Chain A
Amino acid sequence: MNEITDLEVREGVDRETVETVQNMGSYKYGWDTEIEMEYAPKGLSEDIVRLISQKNGEPEWMTEWRLEAYRRWLTMTEPKWAMLNYPQIDYQDQYYYARPKSMEVKPKSLDEVDPKLLATYEKLGIPLKEQMILAGVEGADEAPAEGRRVAVDAVFDSVSVGTTFKDELAKAGVIFCSISEAIREHPELVKKYLGSVVPQSDNYFATLNSAVFSDGSFVYVPKGVRCPMELSTYFRINAENTGQFERTLIIADQGSYVSYLEGCTAPKRDTNQLHAAVVEIVILQDAEVKYSTVQNWFPGDEEGRGGIYNFVTKRADCREARAKVMWTQVETGSAITWKYPSCILRGDESQGEFYSIAIANNFQQADTGTKMIHLGKNTRSRIVSKGISAGQAQNTYRGLVSMHPRATNSRNYTQCDSLLIGDKCGAHTVPYIEVKNTSSRVEHEATTSKVDDDQLFYCRQRGMDEEEAVALVVNGFCREVLQALPMEFAMEAQSLVAISLEGSVG
């Protein structure tokens, strides 16, 4: 009897999912949560900055830090060098703070969180219960028998809803909480490191973020600690006409290790929404950080209406010897992507790696890449970028490899591949290379290809339909990068590749 009920429930869910997906078109996270929200007044001013600071219960020094950034921002102009076309953003025509009413009093534990919020994350497939995540549910051939655990910080519009596994992480000495909590609870760490990788004045969008960031995640891994589980933050924009400005700060103390995952989605809306995040990572001697992103913000519809404007500054500072960072990103969403996760290789023998898949379909525009700044001796960096353009999309790889005079005997290897689907899209590669010493070596390889008709016909003759064939070929093209992702992310990314390219052929 039980079995039958189970089965019915599962079937019911499947049917619902199928319908939802059909109604949404191909973007399956386009639904919104109906929940009572509290907004700061529209627009941006010193008062709004103060209000955000006050809502977060911040100390005076933090408010001042924000105001300083805000005043700086007023003197700056939006950068226009990227290969992106979009109408002038009206910074006064949006909300800078939105939080669910039910979050007014910060819940002490996840049990107290508004069920509507919990349901939202459940529907997104993000577990906020401290349970095992069974890897390989989708049928991976190499799925391990034991489950893997991932701690989650869930950010909903401007606030962090909750963070899982905090206690267990604390036992290992790892601090994992929202940035607003860190500002209150660990001011010494925040004061020391906030803005030390991405200064307030770094660039237009980072400065804006410094003024108005509402929440985000904070991670501190103490000396010699290997973080016992993967950490992740899931960003959800729900409110309309609201920007999301999160700030993430990760500190890996000497000899530590952490792997961090980031996911993002937003409802389908006709209007564009602004997302300007900053991620700072500080890596000390012999420590290692892996940072993986699956960015799936709403990309706009087939006509190019709506979608997120994604202006993100991400930077890791390998501050001491033998520090190591690996960025892996899968960028499938957003109408506009402006993002260059970078590595400052300051410590001798430090290493930076950047693996990227950027998919742009329909009217999406992506200008993304990385910066490898070699400052220390014997530093190494590796860039593998796979850009896929379909529909009428424009996809640009923009990267800088810079070998400073002191960075002797350093190496960089860059591989930059572009794949075109159809004849109305574009792929561009803009590599900047500066070498200021004689002992370093820089290699750059680039290819541009079209999805080959022979490959598609071969797949179809074996029974795959055209979209399945494209997805298979594209996944093959991206393989090196997909392999760099943690497993459950890799599988999500793989199916995302297929979904993002729906309707790109035929």
Chain B
Amino acid sequence: MLKIDNLHVKLEEEDKQILKGLSLEVPAGQVHAIMGPNGSGKSTLSYVLSGRDGYEVTEGSATLDGESLLDMEPEERAAAGLFLAFQYPVEIPGVGNMTFLRTAVNAQRKARGEAELSSGEFLKIVRAKAAELQISPDMLKRPVNVGFSGGEKKRNEILQMAMLEPRMCIMDETDSGLDVDAMRLVSDGVNALRGPDRSFLVITHYQRLLNHIQPDVVHIMADGRIVKSGGPELALQVEEEGYGDLLAEAR
């Protein structure tokens, strides 16, 4: 599914290397977690994969099912099935959540040469999926993320994920700012989406999210590279011991 090979990335504005030869492969149907200390380049990785401006790839490649992601516009990556759940979901004043969702769903369908959803079809689907995430009809009508609580914003990201049905989901610290109940809702939403054709890359600081979303592989990232990979037990080790020993070992 997702294959990242020797990826080197620097900031466009200043001469600062963030990713320094990162390699990673997420096969179809798997959930991989990335953990790492602050400043290790986790968020940069999610932005570079989704095509945000401001980064320059100096070496390496990233492909989704063999197609180079790095040559595509952000919306082309989205239509190809790449989804990023934002760490800080963006507010768009005046644009109803529902309008936003429908525009996004239909833009992707159009890009893939599929028929657009009628308002009837769309409403039916969105209502069912919103109910599962305990998103109220009122929240669907309100402007995108405006005045949403931290938990509401993250649930809204998962709703978008559920509606867009991406194949490759990147979640950038989706657990930050969530209380226990919200974390359970979000995790249940993600787990419901798990399937043989869909993969997840879960970026997180804390092991507790991984109690809810069981990863197949855990990667430890430091200084722009994956320094160690292992099973779920690796996350537990980090939780208990911190990154110190792992990083020392890697050096």
Contact = CB atoms under 8 A, between A and B. Distances in A.
A464 interface: yes
B220 interface: no
Nearest to A480: B94
A475 B95 contact: yes
A477 interface: yes
Interface string A466-506: 10100011011111100000000000000000000000000
B50 to A, nearest CB: 5
B89 interface: yes
A466 B74 CA distance: 9
A461 B53 contact: no
Q: Which of A139, A462, A477, A479 has the largest number of chain B CB atoms within 10 A?
A: A462
Interface stretch (A34-42, A151-159, A449-457): A449-457
B4 to A, nearest CB: 18
A467 B84 CA distance: 21
Interface stretch (B27-35, B104-112, B200-208, B234-242): B104-112
Contacts of B74: 457, 460-461
A430 to B, nearest CB: 25
A381 to B, nearest CB: 23
A468 B103 contact: yes
B78 A461 contact: yes
B5 interface: no
A465 B160 CA distance: 17
B94 A477 contact: yes
A244 B105 CA distance: 44
Given A141-B119, A457-B52, A463 B95 contact: no
Contacts of A462: 78, 100, 104, 107-108, 160, 164
Nearest to A143: B119
B90 A455 contact: yes
A458 B145 CA distance: 12
A43 B73 CA distance: 54
Interface in B34-79: 50-53, 73-75, 77-79
A442 interface: no
Interface in B75-95: 75, 77-79, 83-84, 86, 89-95
B123 interface: yes
Given A453-B53, A461-B50, A464-B75, A476 B119 contact: no
Contact of A477 (B79, B93, B111, B160): B93
B118 interface: yes
A44 interface: no
Contacts of A465: 73, 75, 107
Given A463-B75, A463-B111, A473 B103 contact: no
Contact of B95 (A139, A140, A473): A473
A459 interface: yes
Contacts of A478: 94
A485 B51 CA distance: 38
Interface residues of B, number: 35
Contact of A476 (B51, B86, B94, B123): B94
B94 A459 contact: no
B143 interface: yes
A461 B143 CA distance: 18
Contacts of A459: 92, 100, 104
A458 B89 contact: yes
B78 A460 contact: yes
A139 B119 contact: yes
Contact of A468 (B50, B83, B107): B107
Given A139-B119, A464-B103, A476 B92 contact: yes
Contact of A458 (B79, B92, B118): B92
A472 B73 contact: no
Contacts of B79: 463
A484 to B, nearest CB: 13
A480 B95 CA distance: 11
A297 to B, nearest CB: 26
Contact of A463 (B53, B93, B98, B108): B108
A141 B123 contact: yes
Interface string B163-191: 01000000000000000000000000000
Interface string A146-165: 00000000000000000000
B167 to A, nearest CB: 13
B100 to A, nearest CB: 7
Interface in A107-152: 139-141
A96 B119 CA distance: 48
A10 B74 CA distance: 34
A465 B110 CA distance: 11
A458 B53 contact: no
Interface string B99-143: 110011101100100000011000100000000000000000001
B121 to A, nearest CB: 12
A454 B107 contact: no
A476 B50 contact: no
Contacts of B119: 139-141
Contacts of B86: 458, 461
B65 to A, nearest CB: 17
B114 to A, nearest CB: 12
A478 B95 CA distance: 10
A458 B89 CA distance: 8
Interface string A1-41: 00000000000000000000000000000000000000000
Contacts of A479: 93-95
A420 to B, nearest CB: 16
A139 B100 CA distance: 15
B127 to A, nearest CB: 12
Given A457-B53, A477-B93, A463 B123 contact: no
A464 B93 contact: no
B120 to A, nearest CB: 9
8 contacts: A461-B78, A461-B86, A463-B75, A463-B164, A465-B73, A475-B94, A476-B94, A479-B93
Q: Which 6 A-B pairs have the closest CB atoms?
A: A476-B94, A479-B94, A476-B95, A463-B108, A462-B104, A458-B90
Given A458-B90, A463-B108, 10 more contacts: A454-B90, A460-B73, A460-B75, A461-B51, A463-B164, A473-B95, A476-B92, A476-B94, A477-B94, A479-B93
